[in-house]
Amino acid sequence: MCEANAYIIRDGEEELVMEAVDKIEPEDDGLRLVNVFGDQKFLHARIDALSLVNHKIFLKE
């Protein structure tokens, strides 16, 4: 599997918002995250950066 953990960057700190993320899709004025277990989360954020070998997705509000 090739999932990654999603972090929101707030005040320069990484805050974990969802583990094992498979899909991220734009929705309204934010993002819908879906993990490999089928859990979903909506966030008012955008995808800022990726570091996939480290399994990290960085979001910003």
- Per CB under 8 A, residues contacting its own copies are 1-4, 21-26, 36, 46-53, 55, 57
Torsion of CA 14, 26, 19, 55, to 10 degrees: -70
Angle at 25 between CA 53 and CA 16, to 5 degrees: 50
**Closer by beta carbon to its own copies, 16 or else 36:** 36
What minimum distance in Å lies between the beta carbon of 7 and its own copies?
14
What minimum distance in Å lies between the beta carbon of 36 and its own copies?
7
**Closer by beta carbon to its own copies, 15 or else 60:** 60
Angle at 44 between CA 42 and CA 18, to 5 degrees: 45
